[in-house]
Amino acid sequence: MKLLFSLLLALAASALAQAAQPPPATPKKPVVNQYHGVKVQDDYQWLEKNDDPAVQAWSAAQNKYARAYLDRLPERPLIEQRLTKLYAEASPTYSSMVARPGRLFALKFQPPRQQPMLVTLASADDLKSEKVILDPNELDAQGTTGIDWFAPSLDGKKVAISISKGGSEDGDLHFYDVESTKALSDTIAHVQFPTAGGSAAWNGDGTGIFYTRFPIKGERPDIDLHFYQQIYFHKLGASESEDTYSLGKDFPRIAEIALESSHDGRHILAVVANGDGGDFAHYLRTPEGDWKQLTKFSDQVKQARLGRDGALYLISRADAPRGKVLRLPFEHLDLSAANVVVPAGEAVIEEIEPATGALYVGDLLGGPSQTRRFDLDGKNGKTIAIPSISAVQEMVALEEGALLFKDVSYVEPNVWYRYDMATAEPVKTALRGTSPVSFDDIEVVRELATSHDGTRIPLNIMRRKGTKLDGNNPTLLYAYGGYGISMTPSFDFARRLWFDRGGVYVVANIRGGGEFGEEWHKAGNLTKKQNVFDDFIAAEHYLIKQGYTSPEKLAIEGGSNGGLLMGAVLTQHPELARAVVSLVGIYDSLRTELEPNGAFNVTEFGSVKDPQQFRKLFAYSPYHNVHEGSKYPSILFLTGENDGRVAPYNSRKMTARLQAANVSANPILLRTSASSGHGHGTALSERIKQQADILAFLFDQLGMGQQTAKTAAR
């Protein structure tokens, strides 16, 4: 025991010594960019070139510096061991459920396997019927090959699967026979990319498939090869070169297309997003083979689903920011002929699932959710009972009109329920998650912070029962705030390590998300983006004022758009938090739109080409608001070399600028993963390593010592 204690002291001393070492030097190579008469100097623009040997050498040096710091943290190996053990003990999870006659298709994630696999089940209560259709872990021993998405034929006898490598989300479409699980000879290249995603929908008899297609090299300039997504048709057994154009030549450069087949295969629905700003147009392919436009971007129809009763069901936010449901018969494909079947109310209508004889509606209640059942004409509404402060993550209509839905809370893992009118109440199926650790001592409370303009911001606070509000609790605050994406309840057994150190975990429902409808989203995008940052800052102030924590005990975390949030908050109020963890974030708001996926973000963030939007972007751009001689908190940046959504150079440039400007003794670290991208498709082993680095960093920065024997035994 004495030897172990001495070893831990030595490692701790080594970590402190490493903290005192300066980071690798970064040369300044000034470039001046001009926007609407404003000259903006960029000292680190040279770090944008991924394939430049000097950039690669700089990145390697930063990784070495970060690894030296993280690997010297005495508890980091123990944390990784603990996480590995918990994952090995975790139950399988089933997601992306699709129902076909006599079959359910789902992605099954079963640690310690590195990637989810595609399986079928006869029913959600017949686990013995499970059959593996494709296990990507068998394709790639390194675990870096993953499934982007899949589309079963309408009879469930074939399935198309987009497969990509290294977290790149650059997927090719492969086809499999479900009965034999053997691959068919057909392959379609480049149907999926992070910019516009990808999708596919089968024809009625399973002889062919409509799919999203990016331009082939030579069809357009190289700069446009990840834009101009269109719809093509492929006949099974034919060469890809024989595929025929179907729709999309007139779509915007930043169109993102999602496809759906009707239950009988007679209609194909195309949902076309205008980039990532939340506006959609809808097109329907009729049995005669013609495409008819149903809605325009300006119509504010946010979702459309094909019913089984000869009608489309639409979520409209026109004159209804929280949504209403419309029914549009196939024989009258004119939006003006649609009838309101579920009127607007207090709840935000987020999702619809038409079934035989029933319409299921998923509502948001400011973060948590509820599910309602209606007759197809909107009558006989009934709220389906689910646990409090939980979220319905998926809804799947079954052949007979019943519903499968997956519910999860902050303290209970996900469970798939079956609901129909005969049972009256939802019934748990065999697809229920179990946790390797208990959360019986954890309670969840929802409290409200007040933002700068009086807006009330919900905080979901997870804490051990009996937590004293004395300002001494290590607290981690997380948020996102963009694209209308809502922060709903989710379960993560790895949080047990946080709670065992006396930590409080908080998720803030800030503006920019969709928790309170379209107005909530629009109040935090484009020129109103500063509201997002102000809401988060208000949450920090609230947690400090209420005695949950103090600036020395507060850490903040976010990723992607949430990484932009971290960058803005740490530059605007560096004094409020002790530590920051920021993953795959956007930090240079002036140049990100020059990247392929950055162009898709213009409808959410704005463009430097617009004078007013430029002024707002420049005012909050984290990279441009780092100030020389400032004292910044401890920061851990994480990025992936294969990230096609947010260019890794954002993290490189932000790290360099902060390291040069910072006068505090706090470390500023950049961790770059060579085997991952934005997050999707990351191998389990790499995810565990990332989690171990983050937790070790936060435990060290917030002074969260060894867990007690009591909590360690839990």
| CA distance readout (Å), 449 to 234, 468, 473, 562, 573 | 53, 19, 18, 19, 17
Q: Say what the pLDDT of residue 256 is.
A: 98
Q: Say what the pLDDT of residue 126 is.
A: 96
Q: Say what the pLDDT of residue 20 is.
A: 60
Query: For the chain, what percent of residues have pLDDT higher than 70?
Result: 96
The confidence band for 399, taking pLDDT boundaries of 50, 70 and 90, is confident
Q: Is the pLDDT of residue 587 over 80?
A: yes
d(CA 619, CA 285): 45
Q: Say what the pLDDT of residue 494 is.
A: 97
Condensed to tens digits (0 to 9), the pLDDT of residues 540-586 reads: 999 999 999 999 999 999 999 999 999 999 999 999 999 999 999 99
Mean pLDDT of the chain: 94
The confidence band for 687, taking pLDDT boundaries of 50, 70 and 90, is very high
In this prediction, residues 248-276 reach a mean pLDDT of: 97
Task: Judge contact between 195 and 598, C-beta under 8 A.
Answer: no
The confidence band for 590, taking pLDDT boundaries of 50, 70 and 90, is very high
What domains sit in the chain, N to C, each tagged with a CATH number?
77-85+437-712 (3.40.50.1820), 94-299 (2.130.10.120), 302-434 (2.130.10.120)
Q: Is the pLDDT of residue 9 over 80?
A: no
d(CA 281, CA 419): 32
Six token digits for residue 62:
């930063």
Q: Is the pLDDT of residue 70 over 90?
A: yes
Condensed to tens digits (0 to 9), the pLDDT of residues 488-519 reads: 999 999 999 999 999 999 999 999 999 999 99
Q: Where are the alpha helices (DSSP H) in 581-669?
A: 596-600, 602-605, 611-620, 649-661
Task: Judge contact between 455 and 511, C-beta under 8 A.
Answer: yes
Of 146-160, 483-497, 698-712, least confident by mean pLDDT is 698-712
Q: Say what the pLDDT of residue 711 is.
A: 40
Q: Is the pLDDT of residue 710 over 50?
A: no
Q: Say what the pLDDT of residue 694 is.
A: 98
Q: Say what the pLDDT of residue 423 is.
A: 76
Q: Is the pLDDT of residue 232 over 60?
A: yes
